[in-house]
Amino acid sequence: MTSSELARQIHAASHLTGDFVLRSGRRATEYFDKYRFEGDPVLLDSIAREMVPLVPAGTEVLAGLEMGGIPVVTALGRHTGLPCAFVRKHAKEYGTCRLAEGADIAGRRVLVVEDVVTSGGQIVLSTAELRALGADVREALCVIDRLQGGAEALAAERISLLSLLTADDLRAAA
């Protein structure tokens, strides 16, 4: 599948118009409902397959951010064979009381995986916590970069943003 065909499928499945408040607090007239492409197992599998070449050499663990990054990281793990960690927004207060469940991250090269990036705020917060737990995080990988400052915010924290597609790619493919 070409990237423009994949972009067209993602756009058809997830593009909404209206008045939306984003996680960053910004308002938008278009929205990519990530759960629509994440909830389609065939489309999600195609997305993960196309993301494989973007995984940096030396990556030891894929870390999906709650909630949208979890299905993406699970599908990507199936294609790469890499173990996955599931990163909560806040460590749970019971059981293991862990921030990152699944694969151990301490002392390992970890790739943060997210679905859609706008400001990059959650990646910045989660990466700081992962680094405090001993993870070596250099990059984040997303399905869609909305091109609204996320890459620049991440670069300021020494995180390179890798994206499968941008909002412009989706619009062009529509």
Residue ranges and CATH numbers for the domains of the chain are 3-173 (3.40.50.2020)
Helix (H) or strand (E) holding 151: helix 150-155
Q: Does the structure show a pLDDT above 90 at 57? A: yes
**pLDDT tens across 74-130, in order?**
999 999 999 999 999 887 777 777 889 999 999 999 999 999 998 999 999 999 999
pTM: 0.93
Q: Any known ligand binding at 122?
A: yes
The response to whether 116 counts as a known ligand-binding position is: yes
Q: Residue 1 has what pLDDT?
A: 72
**Residue 143, marked binder:** no
* Predicted confidence (pLDDT) per residue in 67-87, tens digit: 999 999 999 999 999 999 999
Query: Looking at residue 2, what is its pLDDT?
Result: 84
The conformation of residue 57, written as its DSSP 8-state character, comes to T
Q: Is 17 annotated as a binding residue?
A: no
118 is in an annotated binding site: yes
Any known ligand binding at 9? no
Q: Residue 22's pLDDT is what? A: 76
- pLDDT confidence bin for 54, thresholds 50/70/90: very high
Count Cβ atoms below 10 Å from residue 87 Cβ, excluding itself.
31
